[in-house]
């Protein structure tokens, strides 16, 4: 609608940011995206994502660091921002062991900068931010999976600790300043335009180049793989239904159907038409054995139902990978 402030999206060049921005633009929303294009993985992929967005009416890109409070505050004030989707973060459970201060700055300082900017904004409506299934730690599964009320006080990686800290910061800001917030605990998001550090992406690259793949946890781990389009359904649905004033609502977004790692590899082999040479390794520090999302809250809120099964989603990813890397 003409005159309506844009939605501010941090991390717009990232996997989930790109997909969410595309959907919002398709729906006629204006999106103001910010990203610093860091080199945790190949910035060329990030620039390719943003190039797609820049072809759409209603999109504007800003290059900046969310951990700089003046930058975010200025953007929010200058553009009269009322809704923010905060996805910018330093990702990677294993990477957090090697570069801990990157996580301090991007995740903790970055989240605090966004909170400060939102609480000072006039007529602010809703902050949606990305958390992670990693906050649940390494624990036994219940019959319905990890629920939002389950304990989250034993993180097994610094990455998980920063994500839980962000939830707690949001809880305090919602309580003190009153603006509505929603934290989304995302479960193993995959699909076209995905992150090259994720296992399915690395496995694809290795298999196609004739290299062996290293499978940790001796292949016994399970993950609640969630296709990117289903994640965007949940994210935008939550954005459009803000909680009450002073509430920091926490929601799982997952597939609610965990799959064993070896089963995932078999599906990937089928999609590729090639077999993998597998080297089994023990579990790495910071990893968890299994994840499983209880999505009852999100179902009750927006009627959330994941649509894309893992075999189909991997086939779509392989098609994109071949087109982008081999035929592009």
Q: Which of 41, 129, 136, 159 is an active site residue?
A: 159
Beta bridge partners of 213: 278
Q: Tokens 């996997």 — which residue?
A: 15
Instruction: Report the C-alpha gap between 288 and 212 in whole angstroms.
Output: 23
Nearest to 30 by CA among 82, 74, 69, 65: 82
* Euclidean distance between CA atoms 74 and 8, whole angstroms: 12
Count the Cβ atoms, other than its own, within 10 Å of residue 305: 12
Q: Is residue 136 among the annotated active site residues?
A: no
C-alpha–C-alpha distance, residues 72 and 8, integer Å: 10
Residue identified by tokens 């894309």 is 308
Phi–psi pair at 282, nearest 5 degrees: -70, 165
214 near 281, Cβ under 8 Å? yes
The two beta strands, 222-223 and 278-280, are unpaired
Structure tokens at 92: 């990677």
Contact 118, 84 (CB under 8 A): yes
Q: How far apart are the first and last CA of the chain?
A: 36
The token pair that represents 258 in the structure block: 């965990």
For residues 267 and 274, give the distance between their C-alpha atoms in angstroms, rounded to a whole number: 11
CA-nearest of 90, 83, 89, 70 to 32 is 83
Q: Which residues are catalytic?
A: 159
């Amino acid at each position: 609608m003409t005159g309506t402030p844009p939605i501010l999206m941090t991390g717009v060049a990232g996997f989930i940011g790109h997909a969410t921005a595309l959907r919002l633009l398709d729906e006629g929303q204006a999106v103001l995206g910010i990203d610093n294009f860091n080199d945790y993985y190949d910035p060329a992929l990030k620039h390719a994502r943003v190039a797609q967005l820049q072809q759409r009416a209603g999109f504007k890109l800003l290059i900046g660091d969310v951990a700089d409070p003046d930058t975010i505050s200025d953007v929010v004030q200058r553009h009269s921002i009322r809704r923010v989707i905060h996805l910018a973060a330093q990702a990677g459970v294993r990477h957090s062991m090697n570069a801990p201060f990157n996580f301090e700055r991007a995740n903790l300082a970055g989240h605090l900068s966004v909170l400060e900017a939102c609480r000072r904004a006039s007529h602010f409506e809703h902050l949606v931010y990305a958390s992670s299934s990693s906050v649940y730690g390494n624990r036994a599964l219940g019959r319905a999976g990890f629920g939002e009320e389950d304990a989250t006080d034993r993180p097994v990686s610094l990455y998980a600790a920063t994500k839980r800290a962000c939830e707690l910061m949001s809880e305090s800001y919602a309580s003190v300043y009153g603006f509505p917030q929603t934290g989304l605990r995302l479960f193993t998001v995959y699909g076209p335009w995905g992150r090259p550090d994720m296992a399915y992406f690395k496995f694809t690259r290795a298999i196609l180049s004739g290299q062996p793949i290293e499978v940790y946890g001796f292949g016994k781990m399970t993950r609640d793989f969630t296709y990117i389009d289903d994640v965007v359904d949940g994210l935008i649905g939550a954005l459009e239904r803000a909680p009450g004033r002073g509430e920091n609502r926490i929601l799982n977004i997952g597939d609610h159907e965990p799959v064993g790692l070896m089963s995932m590899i078999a599906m990937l082999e089928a999609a590729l038409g090639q077999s993998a040479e597998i080297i089994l390794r023990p579990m790495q520090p910071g990893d968890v054995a299994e994840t499983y999302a209880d999505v009852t809250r999100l179902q009750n809120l927006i009627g959330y139902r994941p649509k894309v099964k893992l075999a189909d989603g991997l086939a779509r990813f392989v098609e994109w990978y071949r087109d982008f890397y081999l035929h592009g």
